[in-house]
Structures are given as structure tokens and as C-alpha cells.
Chain A
């Protein structure tokens, strides 16, 4: 235990760099997924169309998609022979972010739909009856479900920062470039550096805990209005990640 503690207090620049990158990748993919899932989720929830129930069931079944499977899909898409191979993103941060967006989007989309479903229909109808446009009505619904939406962002972020399969398969675990805390933990474990791996694991947990507590405390104190939380988070992560 003493050894793990020693490791934790004397983490090297490689580890801090991996931690910063973990945060940066997870936050970026979370922001991108949010930007995709909000409009898409509101479209799915507020529009009536054939197969809506089936679509939501498919989305829900994608919640538990293994990260290695997403890694494999992204690898196939980004490899030289793949449809997006010409971009040359494989084994780069872009590939990891792309993979993480694919991984967390179904969960976030499902949670957006579920958050909208929790809003009393009479509230959105009242907005419409008072002359709100479709977008204004969606903003009202988001406002009504802001805590559920915030939970959705936290869950998406948590899933992204804790995944290993995508980062390993499409990032390549390149030091100071694509190495994240999860890939570093895996590497250190394989090298037999169990204490260092433990220290990194604890650091990852502490980071996740810090982010969650920060968001929830800001939410409770009422300082989070609209989506200013993203700006706040991104500023902090940019500062850490260099």
C-alpha cells in the first residue's frame, strides 16, 4: 500500500500527460456527442414517425456495446482500406475521439430521449400554445429536464474516460500522443508495474470523482445555468492537458 501511495505522490510527467489526454479526449468526445445527441434526441422524441419504438429499442440495446467492438468498427472505418482511410486518422487522437463519440452516442441519445419523456407534455404544449417555435419549445423542455440532461452528460463523460478498447485499438497507445490513463494502466500491468498501475487507476477514479462532484456542487448551488458547464469544464481540462 505504501508503495502505491509513493507512486501516487511521485507520478511522472508521462502519467500526468496521459491523465490530461484522457480528460481532453473524453471531454471533447462528450461535447461532440452532446452536440449530435441533443438535436437528434429532440427530433426523435418530438416527431411522430414509423418505427420510432423500434429505433429506441435498438438504441437501448447499443448501451451495452463492448468497447472493443466499437474499436474494431472504428479500426475498419479508419484503416487504409476503410471508407475514411484517406483521412489518415488511425493511431491519432482524432481516431480515439471518433471512437469515443461512437461509443457514448447511443447512451447519450437514449438518455436525451428519456429526459424529454420525463417532461410533462402539458409544459411543452403550454409553450407551443403561447407561441413558442419548435426550437423554443425544445429549449423549454431542456430547461425543464436540465438535471436529467446533466446526468446524461456526466454518464457520457464517465463512459468515455473509463473506456480502454477504443483507445487501445485505434489510438495505438503512443506515448505523449495517444496514451491515456486506461491504456497506460494496461501497459504498466503487462510490464509487471502493478503499483504504478494501481496509482494510475486511483488517479483515474479521483479525476472522475472530482469532475462529478464539481458538476453536482455547481448544479446544487445553482451556478450552472444553461450549458455554461461545458465552457467551465473545457477551460479546466485544457489547462490540465496542455
Chain B
């Protein structure tokens, strides 16, 4: 059931268009992650949905009611949502006071406030911080207070604007644990923005890719990461092998794609002579010293151009007529004694390739 409907939403700041024609249907109880690079318009979108700003054009329907402009409906809709901002914000009071604010503003009874604040303090693991001045907490602790403050009002929609940005890994992990708990226990509708793709993948049911103010793709994490709809989405989600080619011939669903003279076999619905992009995720490429005898349909011999160690993983770039980039464990790289210029075979399955139409 569509709970929040965003229709053709645009936002301009002066002459700059920040968001352009956003259409999004948010269903009850689903966790959405809006991912996109910095400056893509994620915060602007979250602020518009939380009704903190008004759009330049377009409409926002909350539970079927147009809340885009009307003051009264905006206020009552806002009370059914809660926002956690990127920068941890706490009021000049103790932790209990901070968390109790939303309930006090809703004129809840004292006993109810006590009970709910204590419950939520336990959820965020800050039961011992109840009477501490909130301004003396660390960034991660402040953000947990902010999350508790949003949760205590039991919002129907929880909006999280990059809640773990600029926090240390331990704090990020604690906040993710809290969010995972809420998702499991409360079935709250959540819309979170993040530039951490793996976080989106871990927590969200659906991912929306926002790039340069446009929503380019909405889908399950698997769809987004394995079958990006456009070259921009593919680049953003880490598909590092994006090769322009042409469908040379088709054998049922199997297409033979000519990429700079090399023939790549892939599964696609696209027809012969179609201009395409062939997309291969680096982790789907296997490197061997001798020709691979596995089921992989695509095996190319090449020479190593570059080896880039990245801690436990190593990026290997090989030139086999086409340039391919793969990732292997640093241990494997060491065992295989890889050196720049040495011969290497790269193989990948036809099913691991995603093919999209090229204009």
C-alpha cells in the first residue's frame, strides 16, 4: 500500500535545479535507501519529504492527503514522521530531556513519557546516560540520542539523512545495530539516505539511486548492484568494467557481443546489431595462470597492466585486447606471484554480465 507518494517533485535554489522530476512511491513497512554521490540532492529530497522545505513544483501525498503546501496538513503529517539529520543535533538539556521533547510537544502523560523514554534508551544502549548533559556526549552517542528522540514518538515514517556520516566505525556499527533492531521489531517505514552503498545493501529492502538530482533507478539491492539500469548507476554502484560493444549475433538468449574485436558471450534480450554496454563487476572476474577449464564461457588471455594492493584485496588490471579490472585476495595474488607484464587468464560467466542498451 502506497503510504507516501511523491509526484514529479522539483526543487530549485536560485537558478540551480537540485531535484528534477522525482517520482517515488513509498510503501508501508518497507525500508528504502536513497544512495547517490555527495551533492546528488539526497538531503534536499529528505527535507522535502519531511516538509521542512517546500518544493518548486510537484506534489507530496501523505497517506493520500496532499501535504505539499497547506500549513495545517503539513503540521499534522510532520507529527507522523521523524527525521534524524546527518549532523548530530542535541538540545541544551540532559539526555532524558532531549528524548522526551517530542512526547512533551504531543502533550503525553508524565508516566507514559518516563516509560517510553526509558524503553528507547535501552534500545539505543544508553540507559546509563539518562541524566548526562547531551552536549558532553561524543558524536556517535549524540547521534544515538537523536535516533532515540525520533523513535520515541513512534513515527509512521522514519527519515534518516546519512545518519552515520562522519562517525567512527564503532559508532557506525552500533547505529546500524539499532536500525536493524527497529527494522525487525517495529516494521516502521524508513527512508534513509546514504552514500555508503554497502550500508544501503545491508539495511534496505529497496534502493533508490539519485544522481545529479534525478532518480535513475529504484529496485531491490540485487537489481541495483547486479543489473544497473544506466551507465551512471553502474559507475556509481561499482561496476568498473563498462565496455561499449555491439551485439554481433544471437543464439537464442545468448548474445555474442563484439567489444573492440573481442567476442564476449552474455545473456540478454537485446537484439542483433544493437549498440550496448557490457558490464562486468570486478569481483565476478576470475584470474588464473593457465587457461581455466571451468564452465565460464568467456576466457581471455592478457598481460597485467597494473597491480594495486588494497589491504586484504588486490586490484588487477589486465590488457587482453579489452581492458579488464578484477579483484582477488591479496593472498591469492601473492600465491600466483603476479607481476606487471606477466601473462594471465581472465574468465567470467555469461550470466555474470549485465548488458544495457547504448544510445
Seen from chain A, the residues whose Cβ lies within 8 Å of a Cβ on chain B are 120, 122-123, 125-133, 136, 140, 143-144, 146
Chain A contacts for B87, CB-based, 8 A: 122
Contact A122 B82 (CB under 8 A): no
Contact B83 A129 (CB under 8 A): yes
Shortest CB-to-CB span from A132 to chain B, Å, is 5
Partner of B92, one of A127, A129, A144: A144
Contact B52 A128 (CB under 8 A): yes
Contact B83 A126 (CB under 8 A): yes
| Interface set, chain B 63-114, CB cutoff 8 A to A | 75, 78-79, 81-83, 85, 87, 89, 91-93, 101-102, 105-106
In the complex, what distance in Å separates the CA atom of A100 from the CA atom of B93? 35
Shortest CB-to-CB span from B106 to chain A, Å, is 6
Contact flag A126-B79 (CB < 8 Å), given A131-B102, A131-B105: no
Q: Does B153 contact A (CB under 8 A)?
A: yes
Sample of 5 A–B contacts (CB below 8 Å): A122-B85, A122-B89, A126-B91, A129-B52, A131-B82
Contact flag A130-B149 (CB < 8 Å), given A125-B52, A136-B105, A143-B92: yes
In the complex, what distance in Å separates the CA atom of A146 from the CA atom of B93? 12
Shortest CB-to-CB span from A204 to chain B, Å, is 35
Shortest CB-to-CB span from B49 to chain A, Å, is 11
Q: Does B162 contact A (CB under 8 A)?
A: no
Contact A131 B85 (CB under 8 A): no
In the complex, what distance in Å separates the CA atom of A131 from the CA atom of B106? 8
Count residues of chain B with CB under 8 A from any CB of chain A.
23
Shortest CB-to-CB span from A87 to chain B, Å, is 39
Partner of B78, one of A120, A129, A143, A144: A129
Contact A127 B101 (CB under 8 A): yes
Shortest CB-to-CB span from B73 to chain A, Å, is 14
Q: Does B150 contact A (CB under 8 A)?
A: yes
In the complex, what distance in Å separates the CA atom of A130 from the CA atom of B80? 9
Shortest CB-to-CB span from B188 to chain A, Å, is 15
In the complex, what distance in Å separates the CA atom of A133 from the CA atom of B78? 10
Contact A131 B78 (CB under 8 A): yes
Shortest CB-to-CB span from A37 to chain B, Å, is 22
In the complex, what distance in Å separates the CA atom of A133 from the CA atom of B106? 9
Shortest CB-to-CB span from A122 to chain B, Å, is 5
In the complex, what distance in Å separates the CA atom of A128 from the CA atom of B153? 13
Contact A129 B82 (CB under 8 A): yes
Assuming A123-B91, A126-B89, what are 20 further A-B pairs, CB within 8 angstroms? A122-B85, A122-B87, A123-B89, A126-B91, A126-B146, A127-B91, A127-B101, A129-B82, A129-B85, A130-B83, A130-B150, A131-B79, A131-B105, A131-B153, A136-B105, A140-B101, A143-B92, A144-B91, A144-B92, A146-B92
Shortest CB-to-CB span from B149 to chain A, Å, is 7
Contact B78 A128 (CB under 8 A): yes
Chain A contacts for B150, CB-based, 8 A: 130
Chain B contacts for A140, CB-based, 8 A: 91, 101
Q: Which residue of B lies closest to A128 (CB)?
A: B52
Shortest CB-to-CB span from A80 to chain B, Å, is 47
Chain A contacts for B75, CB-based, 8 A: 133
Q: Which residue of A lies closest to B53 (CB)?
A: A125
In the complex, what distance in Å separates the CA atom of A5 from the CA atom of B34? 76
